[in-house]
Each structure stands twice: as C-alpha cells, then as structure tokens.
C-alpha cells in the first residue's frame, strides 16, 4: 500500500488480497504487543551546501514529531 492509502493493483485478484489483508490488520492489530512500537530513521534530505534556504534537519524533526505522537 502507498503511504496515502492507495492499493496498487493490476488484477482483481490483487485487489482481493490487499483488501483481505487490510481488513485482517484492522481487526487484529490493536492490542497486540507490537502495536505501540516503531522504528524511526531520519536524515538530512536537503544538504545546506546545495541551497542556503534548506537550513534545518527536517528528517530528524519529522521523526521526533512522530515519536511525540506515540503513546
């Protein structure tokens, strides 16, 4: 599945598999021991030396915000 929720598929059989997996996840994921765990990876995607307007650490800042949202 794409990050925006789209399911890429060419055939009806692929759609059926993705829908079944999505429904199974929605029905079973919450409450599992792994549900509130995540791995964060970040980086400085836009180096300052290529453009002086790209100042900051957007990858790290975005990752920190995601970690702040976790319970």
Render pLDDT for 14-54 as a digit per residue (tens, 0 to 9): 999 999 998 998 898 888 888 778 888 877 777 777 777 77
Report d(CA 29, CA 34) in Å as an integer: 8
Q: Rounded to whole angstroms, how far apart are CA atoms 42 and 36?
A: 19
Strand, coil or helix: what is 22?
A: helix
Domain that holds residue 3: 1-35
Q: Are residues 47 and 63 in the same domain?
A: yes
Looking at the fold, whether 55 and 31 belong to one and the same domain comes out as no
Judgement on whether residues 29 and 43 belong to the same structural domain of the protein: no
Q: 0.85 exceeded by the pTM?
A: no
Task: Report the number of distinct structural domains present in the chain.
Answer: 2
Same domain, 5 and 16: yes
What is the C-alpha separation between 31 and 65, in angstroms, rounded? 23
């Amino acid at each position: 599945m794409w990050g925006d929720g789209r399911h890429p598929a060419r055939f009806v059989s692929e759609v059926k598999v993705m829908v079944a997996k999505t429904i199974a996840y929605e029905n079973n994921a919450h409450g599992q021991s792994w549900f509130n765990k995540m791995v964060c990876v970040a980086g400085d995607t836009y180096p300052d030396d290529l453009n002086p307007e790209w100042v900051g650490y957007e990858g790290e800042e975005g990752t920190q915000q995601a970690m702040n949202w976790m319970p």
